[in-house]
Amino acid sequence: MIRTAITRKAPLPRQAAPAVGKPKKRKCQNRSCRQAYEVDPRHSFKTWCSDECAVWIASDRLAKMKAKKQRAERAQDKAKLEAMKNRNELIAEAQQAFNLVVRLEDADLPCISCGATNPPARGLTGGVWDAGHYLSRGSACHLRFDRRNVHKQCKGCNRPGGTTRAAHRAGVEARIGTAALEALESDQASREYTKDDLREIRDTYRKRAAQLKKDAS
């Protein structure tokens, strides 16, 4: 019988032991603490350095969740109230925003009717300036949001009997020109504002008013 030579396998090299370095450190997530602490590899999810901080972090998270839920509920309530508004309410809100922009844009201009720059209050409340419609909202409701038709006007001129139509017309003509005035007076195009149209007008002029106030400050 022929014997084969026995080959000995070389021993596998030993794996090097993992290097032992400095333990990792992390800052405590308690905003009033923020102390560094050593991370236990068995509890790497921990973000606190002590039991007291763990309680604080848990309470903080619950408070944030509660606040988020309350914000969501308020947004839902606001959306419901917005959906319930009727057309007259939306017209009033849009007109208020539009009129404010008129007064802000015309802030450095005199009264469209009498030319006053610092009219007396005359016992009237709410300031001395209005957004005066040359063609009234009653007779030309389709021009209620037309900038050609609305200008800053002192309350004395805007109230009944405060000025004449001729004086108001002359002021508008001087401001926008004869051609634009005649185009305004002949404008009979019907404008049917839907609720969504009115919301868009309101929101657009609210943003415009906010920007004008920011620029003026």
The Cα 153–Cα 164 span in angstroms is 13
| pLDDT tens for the chain, residues 1 to 217 | 566 566 666 666 666 555 555 678 889 989 889 888 888 887 778 888 888 999 998 999 999 999 999 999 999 999 999 999 999 999 999 999 999 999 999 999 999 999 999 887 665 556 789 999 999 999 899 999 999 999 999 999 998 888 999 999 999 999 999 999 999 999 998 888 999 999 999 999 999 999 999 998 8
The Cα 158–Cα 61 span in angstroms is 56
pTM: 0.71
Range 152-162 burial, b when 16+ CB lie within 10 A, else e: bbbbbbbeeeb
